[in-house]
A = this chain, B = another copy of it.
Amino acid sequence: MPFQPSILALCTGALFAGASAMAMAQQTPMETLQSDAPTNWGKWGDDDQVGALNYLGDAEVKQGAAAIQSGKTFTLQIPMTSGSGPVFPGRVPTQHFMATDAGVYMAGKAEPAPGGMKYSDDVAFMYLQGTTHVDGLAHAWYGDQIYGGKSEKTSVHGHTHADVGEIGEKGIVGRAVLLDVGRHMGSDDLHRLPTNTCINLEDLEATAEAQGTTINKRDILVIRTGSIARFWEEEPDEQWNAMNEPGLCHSQELLSWLDRMETPMIATDNIAVEKVVQEIDGQQYIIPLHGALMRDMGVVLSEIWWLDDLAADSAEDGQYSFLLVAAPLKVEQGTGSPVNPVAIK
């Protein structure tokens, strides 16, 4: 009986040929790759659990509020459809069930409450990262340390450090800019990036310039690839696949720029913010930016956003900055949490 088939298949080489025995080595490629990269460990105290979100204080909240012009709002979660949705291999979409509904009255199985009221009730079984979600800073790491230098042991059967609940407690409120890379660089009518596209720093800068958007320090970056919409695509040969989505790619330039910009958070409309599989100097990496951004710099990552409506509106009115308000659920010891972010323009 092999270890239960799950997301872990990723690690054990079932999905990727050539997974080497690097775990035994003195130093993993990630450790080498990140040896001179920016880190924010200790910057906000030894016990900090929310990382670069600390950049968002009262002043930044007010700057976000100052971006509001028309009062238009956009909710940025994808629909949570029972049994259907784009998920990473090993997860299943949310399963939703009614615990009770009008059927019980229609069937004569229950009477209304005294006075006459009736009601419904429902439950769900869900992977907490199985829809639009925020990752806790402890969600991904390399070596044996998570964000802040705490032991990976803190993750065991519930994150006792840097869980998503801490981000839920803090909340996410600030000025955000939409970088519609899909519209700027995409080749099709739907303004989407082709599969397997690497988004680099110069792409972000070119997109901002094309949009006429100024990116301020401490702005939340909301990056549109157009990719997640392919999940609901009718043409099977163009349908969504978690493993080949376009996304950010690791580079020292990108990390340095994000560091200088004091970026608190990056949100995208793909499965992993970054391209899942990347090759750097001949070495294959899976989600290396999770190591660089989340683990080393404490930048909050948020995925599977619905950006098409916001992007269309921005293309029309030319306003790419807004107040972003998003608070994941306060899931104590949780890795991730579903969220329905709100953009207020």
Contacts and interface: CB of A to CB of B under 8 A. Distances in A.
Central interface residue in A10, A107, A118, A126, by most chain B CB within 10 Å: A118
A1 B79 contact: yes
Contacts of A4: 81-83, 96, 157-158, 332-333
A216 interface: no
Given A96-B334, A105-B152, A128 B119 contact: no
Interface in A151-195: 151-160, 163, 165, 168-171, 173
A266 interface: no
A260 to B, nearest CB: 24
Interface string A76-103: 0111111110000011101111111111
Interface stretch (A136-144, A218-226, A236-244, A251-259): A136-144
A286 B111 CA distance: 12
A18 interface: yes
Interface stretch (A53-61, A196-204, A205-213): A53-61
Interface string A313-345: 000000000010101111111111011111010
B153 A107 contact: yes
Contacts of A312: none
A313 to B, nearest CB: 12
Given A4-B96, A82-B6, A160-B3, A335 B103 contact: no
A5 B111 contact: no
A159 B2 CA distance: 10
B156 A103 contact: yes
Interface size class of A (residues with CB under 8 A): 35 or more
Contact of A112 (B11, B102, B105): B11
Interface of A: 1, 3-8, 10-13, 16, 18-23, 28-31, 33, 57-62, 65, 68, 70-75, 77-84, 90-92, 94-129, 131, 138-144, 151-160, 163, 165, 168-171, 173, 283-288, 290-291, 323, 325, 327-336, 338-342, 344
Given A98-B157, A101-B155, A101-B159, 19 more contacts: A1-B333, A4-B157, A5-B81, A8-B109, A22-B112, A28-B116, A59-B71, A61-B68, A62-B70, A77-B329, A78-B330, A99-B127, A108-B153, A114-B284, A117-B285, A118-B140, A124-B334, A173-B325, A325-B325
